[in-house]
Structure 1
Amino acid sequence: MVKKMNVESFNLDHTKVAAPYIRLASIIKGDSGDVIYKYDLRFKQPNKEHMQMPALHSIEHLMAENIRNHLDNVIDISPMGCQTGFYLAVLNNDSFEDVSTAIEKTLQDVLEADEVPACNEVQCGWAESHNLEGAKQIAKDMLSGKEEWHIIFQDEQK
């Protein structure tokens, strides 16, 4: 029996998921009635593939800047340390359709980008570690699996 962990994703069987997908990972209700919805945006198959750091860093900048043009109340979008995806935290919106549409539009923005926003020493902590073309390839790969974003586990695929 596996011990239940405090971190939600540590309780997820990473050998059974089928990336790419978008998964509602947790719901946090505030004392004042606000609700934070945390989404697992899995770009790469865990333990099989990952995003290279310069490309991951660039797509992080591009998504962080552009997702707010397509989805209200974004609190944060952060890369996973395992380099397989991102966490997206949204205030008061549990709509898979809203989130997936915003992700699709944001990834289209990545494909159309001419530069990485805030890619300089003043605005970025490691400005030399970027790869726009790599970010575009990650976006293409994620978009190519768009029809399966709602499928989380391999045994759901038929």
Structure 2
Amino acid sequence: MKKVVVESFTMDHTKVKAPFVRKCGLIKTPKGDVITKFDLRFTQPNKEAMPTSAVHAIEHLLAGFMREEIEDVIDISPMGCRTGFYLIIIGEKEEKDIAKALIKSLEKVTEAKEIPAVNEIQCGNYRDMSLFGAKEYAKSVLNSLKGKYI
């Protein structure tokens, strides 16, 4: 049986300093396409986890906002540990470009008046959302990312 290496399990979570943007994977498909994965870390691993209502709201908001800032987004999805998100894109971009797009997107989160697709038709757990929580985490992450990337 082939040994499988899960990249996120190889990272020493005790040594990183959140928040950050990290390129954590690059795949070249058999047809030559490139798919890149980024770790968008919001909180310090094993120190703070975001509540699910804030994570869920941020996920819904970033689903649109990141696509406004970056072309060829495949997916943005929350980490099970609730410390951040994975962004998967077609093509290759640098961390600083993704960080700038994330900063612009989080600025939009802080100004959002509502969360998109909060209903039983478009979401499988629409009651577990907090716009207030999303805005608070967005503000916190913004302050740190601006100092690192701008």
TM-score > 0.5 by shorter chain: yes
Q: Which runs of 5+ in 2 are unaligned?
A: none
1:155 aligns with none
When normalised by structure 1's length, the TM-score is 0.89
User: RMSD over aligned Cα, in angstroms?
Assistant: 1.5
Between the aligned partners of 1:5 and 1:47, the Cα distance in structure 2 is 24
| Residues 22 and 149 in structure 1, CA contact (< 8 A), matched pair in contact too | no
Question: Could you tell me how far 1:5 is from its partner in structure 2?
Answer: 5.9
Question: Could you tell me how far 1:34 is from its partner in structure 2?
Answer: 0.9
Kindly provide the amino acid, as one letter, of the partner of residue 51 in structure 2: Q
For residue 81 of structure 2, give the secondary structure of its aligned residue in structure 1: coil
- How many residues are paired up? 147
Kindly provide the amino acid, as one letter, of the partner of residue 110 in structure 2: L
Q: Which runs of 5+ in 1 are unaligned?
A: 151-158
Question: Could you tell me how far 1:149 is from its partner in structure 2?
Answer: 5.7
| Residues 21 and 149 in structure 1, CA contact (< 8 A), matched pair in contact too | no
Kindly provide the amino acid, as one letter, of the partner of residue 61 in structure 1: H
Between the aligned partners of 2:149 and 2:24, the Cα distance in structure 1 is 14
Kindly provide the amino acid, as one letter, of the partner of residue 18 in structure 1: K
Kindly provide the amino acid, as one letter, of the partner of residue 50 in structure 1: A
Kindly provide the amino acid, as one letter, of the partner of residue 49 in structure 2: H
1:64 aligns with 63
Question: Could you tell me how far 1:112 is from its partner in structure 2?
Answer: 0.9
Kindly provide the amino acid, as one letter, of the partner of residue 113 in structure 1: A
1:77 aligns with 76
1:94 aligns with 93
Between the aligned partners of 2:4 and 2:140, the Cα distance in structure 1 is 31
Q: Does 1:8 align with 2:7?
A: yes
Between the aligned partners of 1:84 and 1:44, the Cα distance in structure 2 is 5
When normalised by structure 2's length, the TM-score is 0.93
Q: Equivalences for 1:68-147 in 2 at 5 Å?
A: 68-146=67-145, 147=147
Between the aligned partners of 1:10 and 1:106, the Cα distance in structure 2 is 28
Between the aligned partners of 1:149 and 1:88, the Cα distance in structure 2 is 18
